Amino acid sequence: MSAVFDQVGQLLEWLADWFPRICICRATHRGVRFKWGKHKVEIKPGVYVFWPRVTEAFTYPVVQQTVNLPMQTLVTKDGVTVSFSGVVVFEITNIIKALGDTWDIEENVGNVSLRVAGQVLTTHDFVWLRENLTSGAERKLTVGCRSDLRKYGIKVLQMFATDFAPTRTYRIIGDSPKLRDIKSSEDGAE
Residues 158 and 116 in one domain: yes
Domain boundary among 39, 61, 83: 61
| Residue 175 falls inside a structural domain | no
Determine contact, residues 179/186, Cβ cutoff 8 Å: no
Q: Are 53 and 85 in contact (CB under 8 A)?
A: no
- The residue type at 129: L
Same domain, 161 and 73: yes
pLDDT digits (tens, 9 = 90+) for 141-181: 999 999 999 999 999 999 999 999 999 888 777 666 665 56
72 and 152, same domain (yes or no): yes
Residue-wise pLDDT tens digits, 18-27: 889 899 999 9
Report the CATH number at residue 82: 3.30.479.30
- Domain assignment present for 176: no
pTM (global) more than 0.85: no
| Contact in structure between 71 and 81 (CB atoms under 8 Å) | no
Rounded Cα–Cα distance for residues 9 and 12 (Å): 5
Both 22 and 94 in one domain: the answer is no
Nearest CA-CA partner of 144 in 102, 111, 115: 115
C-alpha of 67 from chain center: 7
In a domain, 182, yes or no: no
Q: Per-residue pLDDT tens for 97-142?
A: 999 889 999 999 999 999 999 999 999 999 999 999 989 999 999 9
Q: How far apart are CA 120 and CA 1, in angstroms?
A: 65
Which helix (H) or strand (E) is 149 found in, with range? helix 136-149
- How large is the average pLDDT for residues 87-100? 96
Sign of the dihedral defined by the CA atoms of residues 17, 22, 28, 29, in that order: positive
* Interior angle at CA 105, CA 102 and CA 83, nearest 5: 120
Number of other residues whose CB lies within 10 A of the CB of residue 1: 5
| Structural domain contains residue 142 | yes
Which residue range(s) make up the domain with 7?
A: 2-61
